[in-house]
């Protein structure tokens, strides 16, 4: 009999009827008949007499006790994924013994066994497959976990927190007792048992705590863990320096196994990774591999505060932890390498994967209002667009203001399960500003469009910019968003002009210098008037991709080429060259459709070779600047994608660039080869 489909809605949220402040678990591990004994301290919340309903899926419940007394079968029911006890006191200890089958747990949720290793995955709703529990993130508990297993088959026994006791038993088994002193929701529970070896190191926090760092892997992978260990130490130091956040336990463990079903999971003090996000050697790993490891290790570590110490009240708040932590790992990576290169890579990723999601039939806001299965909302929108929304806070408040907001957020909510409104209120209150309009980002789907119209008054030397925002996915009834547009103006020689704002000053925030401002577009249409602008000047809009939008600017090829050559913002110089490439590719797709010969834009070719000539000045940035827009992004410009023609015309342009500038390519390659030393991930 199929289980009834239930739609969960944000508006239906109610606090839990019971809290579980303390949890004691004992596992006697067996591939097909693992015994789990739980001891839960339970307290009724509020003046009600409701029964206790615990999530309990895919298990066999053997016995149920309340305050030491075994309940008769008539006093409890296990049906439709719930353990139901209708009559319970206000405070009591519940003990449950149940059996689970990790080997045949093909859902890979809860506790499962793969390739001889026991492993868990509890986010979002996997803990209910381990033992009966209130499996929701606003139930936060202190955990003590005893693991018992055959010592020969499972010599390593790991769980959350600090190891407080271990020993051997008479029957060839051994045990480990773990205790986590920090309250956490059930989705952060973790257990690993198997034949693993570890790389060990130490880190001393800014508070003087010495932390043992261990990366556990299958024995044949131990020689590939050194880079991940260094990435972990870098991320720990960075979080202290950037956000004042120190690690809070005596040990931090990472487990990397080939068969882990997720990319990585931030379980408190016991992060579990798929091996591809930990293992690397210079002989076989690429730059992309190293960058991925550095970013994912940092991301999962950063969750210790943004996700674990402060967690989500309910799963509708997922972007609270994921959007914020993606933003934090982006900032970390930017500080390790070149900020502009990281920003461009993030924009490419956003446009390639998230923009199509926003434009398609599965579009949803970063805070969904309803779901049937929560696993379906671990999306590019919740993560990547969520990170862009967090970045808007930093753009509006500045780095120092954003840090003040983060400090207040942790001061108010450490140890709590909270909401996106709590985060917004902390940012607003710490800086004395009104941020209520940011709410519109959380509840509306789709990518905003901003149309820019220019008018130049030559006699008064005034440039008027009229910006109009829209949200095509919502339509005319959309609520205006907060869109900070970082901008400047270049004169005809390519020099940045000081900005003299004649109208619209109230909407302008300081830029990085006197030649720039951040125009905060908060209405459907707003106007900015700049004075003392000489003829031939060109506005430079959306520097640093300061808002996740589609910008509709009426620039000519010559103007884009001017920006590509002279704008001081690395992102906008890259963007200008991409716009030129995009336009000449689309023009030639149309020529191909008409049966005409291909003809490449002179402005594009000139701008392209100018960048190629300077490629050695900044190889990482130029590697991006000299890459053509990919076919996915090209296809996004069309309602009906001419797949074959786009492929053909892009291939033809690459061939033309290779042939036309072959001597220059050869010289750049030879000079780069001369500069090469032993491999180092330091581009």
User: Rounded to an integer, what distance in angstroms lies between the CA atom of residue 542 and that of residue 571?
Assistant: 9
The answer to whether the beta carbons of residues 62 and 99 sit under 8 Å apart is: yes
Measured between alpha carbons, how far is residue 540 from residues 343, 486, 553 in Å?
17, 8, 10
Buried b (16+ CB within 10 A) or exposed e, 132-145: bbbbbbbbbbbbbb
247 three-class SS: coil
The Cα angle at residue 194 between residues 188 and 198, in degrees rounded to 5: 85
The catalytically annotated residue of 95, 266, 300, 357 is 300
User: Torsions phi, psi of 669, nearest 5?
Assistant: -60, -45
CA 566 to chain centroid: 33
DSSP states of 423-480: HHHHHHHHHT---GGGHHHHH--S--EEEEEEEEETTTTEEEEEEEEE-TTT-TTPPP
Nearest in space to 87 (alpha carbons), one of 99, 74, 78, 96: 74
Neighbouring residues of 287: CB distance < 8 A, sequence distance ≥ 6: 681, 683
Nearest in space to 133 (alpha carbons), one of 63, 56, 191: 56
Active site residue 230: no
The answer to whether the beta carbons of residues 494 and 526 sit under 8 Å apart is: no
Nearest in space to 143 (alpha carbons), one of 183, 175, 176, 110: 183
User: Rounded to an integer, what distance in angstroms lies between the CA atom of residue 32 and that of residue 102?
Assistant: 6
User: Token pair 């556990």 is at which residue?
Assistant: 216
* Runs of H (alpha helix) within 281-375: 287-302, 318-336, 339-349, 355-359
The Cα angle at residue 249 between residues 245 and 253, in degrees rounded to 5: 105
Question: How many other CB atoms sit within 10 Å of the CB of residue 187?
Answer: 23
Long-range pairs, 358-365, Cβ under 8 A, ≥24: 358/385, 358/445, 358/446, 358/447, 358/473, 359/446, 359/447, 359/473, 359/636, 363/445, 363/446, 363/473, 364/445, 365/441, 365/442, 365/443, 365/444, 365/445
Nearest in space to 163 (alpha carbons), one of 173, 151, 177, 143: 177
Rounded to a whole number of angstroms, the CA Rg of the chain reads: 28
The answer to whether the beta carbons of residues 309 and 248 sit under 8 Å apart is: yes
Length of the chain: 683
- Joined together, the tokens standing for residue 115 give 């390739």
> Dihedral angle at the C-alpha atoms of 531, 461, 573, 342, nearest 10 degrees?
10
Omega prior to 554 cis, within 30 of 0: no
Buried b (16+ CB within 10 A) or exposed e, 624-637: bbbebbebebbbbe
Nearest in space to 522 (alpha carbons), one of 483, 551, 486: 483
Question: So which residues are the catalytic ones?
Answer: 300
């Amino acid at each position: 009999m199929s289980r009834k489909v239930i739609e969960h809605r944000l508006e239906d949220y109610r606090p839990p009827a019971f809290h579980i402040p303390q949890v004691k678990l004992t596992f006697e591990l067996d591939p097909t008949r693992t015994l789990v004994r739980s001891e839960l301290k339970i307290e009724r919340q509020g003046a009600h007499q409701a029964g206790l309903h615990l999530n309990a899926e895919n298990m066999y419940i053997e016995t149920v006790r309340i305050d030491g007394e075994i309940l008769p079968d008539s006093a409890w029911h296990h049906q439709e994924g719930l353990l139901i006890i209708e009559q319970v006191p206000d405070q009591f200890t519940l003990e449950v013994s149940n059996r689970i089958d990790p080997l045949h747990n093909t859902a890979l949720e809860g506790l499962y066994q793969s390739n001889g290793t026991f492993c868990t995955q509890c986010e979002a709703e996997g803990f209910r497959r381990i033992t009966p529990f209130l499996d929701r993130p606003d139930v936060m508990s202190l955990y003590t976990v005893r693991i018992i297993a055959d010592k020969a088959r499972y010599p390593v026994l790991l769980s959350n927190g600090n190891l407080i006791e271990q020993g051997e038993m008479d029957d060839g088994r051994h045990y480990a007792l773990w205790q986590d002193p920090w309250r956490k929701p059930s989705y952060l529970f973790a257990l690993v048992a198997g034949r693993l070896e570890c790389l060990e190191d130490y880190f001393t926090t800014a508070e003087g705590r010495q932390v043992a760092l261990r990366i556990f892997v299958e024995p044949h992978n131990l020689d590939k863990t050194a880079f991940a260990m260094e990435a972990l130490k870098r991320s720990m130091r960075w979080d202290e320096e950037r956000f004042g956040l120190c690690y809070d336990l005596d040990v931090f463990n990472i487990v990397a196994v080939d068969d882990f079903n997720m990319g990585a999971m931030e379980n408190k003090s016991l992060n579990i990774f798929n091996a591809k996000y930990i293992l690397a050697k210079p002989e076989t790993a690429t730059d992309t591999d190293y960058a991925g490891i550095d970013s994912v290790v940092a991301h999962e570590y950063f969750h210790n505060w943004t996700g674990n110490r402060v967690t989500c009240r309910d799963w509708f708040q997922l972007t609270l932890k994921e959007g914020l932590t993606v933003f934090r790992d982006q900032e970390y990576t930017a500080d390790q390498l070149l900020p502009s290169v990281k920003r461009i890579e993030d924009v490419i990723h956003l446009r390639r994967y998230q923009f199509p999601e926003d434009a398609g039939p599965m579009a949803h806001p970063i805070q969904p209002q309803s779901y049937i299965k929560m696993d379906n909302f671990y999306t590019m929108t919740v993560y990547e667009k969520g990170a862009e929304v967090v970045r808007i806070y930093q753009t509006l408040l500045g780095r120092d203001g954003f840090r003040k907001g983060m400090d207040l957020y942790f001061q108010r909510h450490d140890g709590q399960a909270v909401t996106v409104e709590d985060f917004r209120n902390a940012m607003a209150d710490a800086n004395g500003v009104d941020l209520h309009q940011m709410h519109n980002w959380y509840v509306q789907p789709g990518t905003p469009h901003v149309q820019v119209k220019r008018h130049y008054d030559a006699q008064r030397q005034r440039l008027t910019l009229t910006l109009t925002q829209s949200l095509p996915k919502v339509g005319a009834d959309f609520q205006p968003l907060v869109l900070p547009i970082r901008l400047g103006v270049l004169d005809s020689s390519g020099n940045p002009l000081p900005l003299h704002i004649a109208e619209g000053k109230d909407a302008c925030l300081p830029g990085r210098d006197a030649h720039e401002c951040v125009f905060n577009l908060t209405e459907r249409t707003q106007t900015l008037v700049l004075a003392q602008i000489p003829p031939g000047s060109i506005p430079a809009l959306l520097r640093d991709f300061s808002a996740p939008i589609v910008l509709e600017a009426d620039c000519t090829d010559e103007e884009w080429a001017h920006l590509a050559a002279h704008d001081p913002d690395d992102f906008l110089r890259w963007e200008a060259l991409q716009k030129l490439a995009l336009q000449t590719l689309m023009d030639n797709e149309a020529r191909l459709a008409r049966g005409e010969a291909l003809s490449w834009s002179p402005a594009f070719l000139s701008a392209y070779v100018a960048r190629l000539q300077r490629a050695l000045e900044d190889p990482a940035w130029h590697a991006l600047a000299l890459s053509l827009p990919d076919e996915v992004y090209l296809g996004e410009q069309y309602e009906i994608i001419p797949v074959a023609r786009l492929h053909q015309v892009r291939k033809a342009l690459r061939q033309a660039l290779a042939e036309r500038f072959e001597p220059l390519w050869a010289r750049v390659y030879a000079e780069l080869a001369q500069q090469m030393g032993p491999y180092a991930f330091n581009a």
